[in-house]
Amino acid sequence: MPGKIIKVTGGQRLRGSVRISGCKNSCLAIMAGSLLAKGPVTLRNVPDISDVHTMTEVIKSLGVYCDFKDNTLVIDATCIPNTHTDYKFVSKMRASFNVLGPVLARCGEATISRPGGCDLGERPIDYHIAGLKKLSANVIDLQSSLEVSHTGLKGTSIFLDRDSVGATEQIMSTACLASGTTRIINASIDPDVIELSRFLQALGANIRVSGKVIEIEGVRELRGTEYNIAFDRIEAGTFAVFGAITKGDIIIKDIIPDHLSSFLLKMKDAGVGIELIDNGDGTDLRVFLNGRPSPTDIFTSPFPGFPTDLMPGFLTLMSVAEGTSVITDTIFVDRFKFIDELKRLGVNVKRNSEQVCMVNGTDALTGADVKSTDLRGGTALIAAALASVGETRIHHIEHILRGYENLTGKLSGLGAETSMIEEA
C-alpha cells in the first residue's frame, strides 16, 4: 500500500538554529502516570507524534477523558471505568504497558495484553511482574495477557537485577498509592525516570532519589496538576549528528547539557565542535565540524552511560570518519537491524556479533531507496542521506513519525533539501 516517504537530497551543510520538542519517552510515562490522579492533569509542550496519539487512544479506551491539541494534553482520570488494555495497543507501542501499575493501583485490578518482541529484539517484562508481586499484587500470567489485582498494595524493598527504565517507572508509579515505604534499589536514574518522579511529586507523591535508590512513601490519593514536558535529549542528539555529518554549524536551542554529557563527550572525542552557550534563560548547544570526524568507539549503557537511542546516529556519523570504529550496544539484543539499509547508501559496516559492529569510514555515500526498520534506525538513514551524493527515498517512515515532530520541517529550516511526499 503506498504511503508517505521522506525524500532527501544530500550535500547541504546545515546552518541556523532549531528548537527541540518535548520528550517522547518521558511524556509517554507521564501520560500513564496521569492515571494515578483523581483530577485533571494538563501537560504542555507535548510532542505531536504518533506515539503520543497512540497513548491518547490507550487512555480513551479505559474510558478516561483525554484531549490533545496544540501540544497541550488534558487527561482527567477522576473515574477509570474500564481496566483492560487491548492487544492492538500494546502490540503497536510497548510504552502502553506502563498503564498497568497506575490502573491497578487506582482500580484494584487491571488486565493487559502481554507485549511481544519488538523491532529491537526480545523485550521481557519479568522485572515489571516481579516488582508488582513484591508490592503484594496478585498476578495471573495467562501467556497472552496478564490479570493483576490487589486487596491492598504494600511498600517494600525491591532490587532490580538491571536498572530498567520501564520497570523503575512502573514500580515507582504503583508504589505512590501503596501503603508504607517502597525502596527501589539499583533503580534507573535515566532523565525520563527523574522527570516522571518530578511529575508524580507535582501530583502529591512523596518520592526521594538518592544515587540509584528511589524511595517512595505511599499516599492515599493523588491530585491533578499542570506540568511542562522537558526537551527530548534524543531528538537533540539526533540533530547534533545531522549538524556534524553535513559538516555544518548549527545551534540547538535550550538543552539540558547534563542529560547529554556522555554523548557530547564522545562527539568531542570524534573531533566534533561542541560549544555550550548561555542564552540568559538556559543553554544552547552549538555543533560544528569542518573535516571528517575521527573514528571513535562507543559502548552503550544505562544513564549516565552512552544512550542506546543515540547509538544508530553515532554509528552513522562514524560511517564517514577517517578510520574504523567499534560500536557496542549492551542494552538490546537486536538493535542493529538498520545497518543492512545503511549499506544500501554505501556505509561500510560489519556485524561482529548480535551486539557489536565495526564501521569503516568512507567519504563516498550515495543516495538510494531504503526503508526504515525502527525509530532511531530511521533517523540514522536520514543522517546518512544528508551526507550522501544524490537523492535518497526513505520508505516505511511510520517508524520515524512515532518519535519526531515535524522532522522534515525542522531539517528544511536548517537548509536541508528534504520533504515528506506521497509514495507514487
Q: Which residues bind ligand EPU (CB under 6 A)?
A: 25, 28, 95, 123-128, 162, 164-167, 190, 192, 308-309, 331-332, 375-376, 403
Q: How far is the CB of 162 from ligand EPU (least distance, A)?
A: 5
Q: How far is the CB of 93 from ligand EPU (least distance, A)?
A: 8
- DSSP letters, 31-85, are HHHGGGBSSEEEEES---SHHHHHHHHHHHHTT-EEEEETTEEEEE-S-----EE
Cis peptide before 115 (omega within 30 of 0): no
Q: Which CB sits closer to ligand EPU, 36 or 365?
A: 36
Q: How far is the CB of 59 from ligand EPU (least distance, A)?
A: 15
Q: CA 198, CA 220: separation in Å to the nearest integer? A: 18
Q: Which CB sits closer to ligand EPU, 320 or 384?
A: 384
- Residue 127 — φ and ψ, nearest 5°? -70, -35
Q: Is the dihedral of CA 225, 230, 234, 235 positive or negative?
A: positive
DSSP structural state of residue 22: B
Q: How far is the CB of 170 from ligand EPU (least distance, A)?
A: 9
Residue nearest to ligand EPU (CB): 166
Identify which of 308, 331, 327 has the alpha carbon closest to the alpha carbon of residue 316. Answer: 327
Q: How far is the CB of 404 from ligand EPU (least distance, A)?
A: 10
Determine whether 357 is an active site residue: no
- Residue 101 — φ and ψ, nearest 5°? -60, -50
Q: How far is the CB of 160 from ligand EPU (least distance, A)?
A: 9
Q: Which CB sits closer to ligand EPU, 209 or 389?
A: 209
Q: Which CB sits closer to ligand EPU, 330 or 348?
A: 330
Listed as own residue / partner, the contacts of 86-90 with beta carbons closer than 8 Å and 24 or more positions apart are 86/61, 86/113, 87/113, 87/144, 87/145, 89/54, 89/57, 89/58, 89/61, 89/113, 90/114, 90/115
Q: Which CB sits closer to ligand EPU, 164 or 319?
A: 164
Q: Which CB sits closer to ligand EPU, 300 or 388?
A: 300
Kind and range of the H or E element at 280? none
Which residues, in sequence order, are bridge partners of residue 85? 112
**Close Cβ partners of 115 (under 8 Å, ≥ 6 residues apart):** 90, 91, 94, 96, 97, 123, 125
Identify which of 380, 379, 391 has the alpha carbon closest to the alpha carbon of residue 317. Answer: 380
Given 27, 66, 118, 357, which residue is catalytic? 118
Active site residues: 118
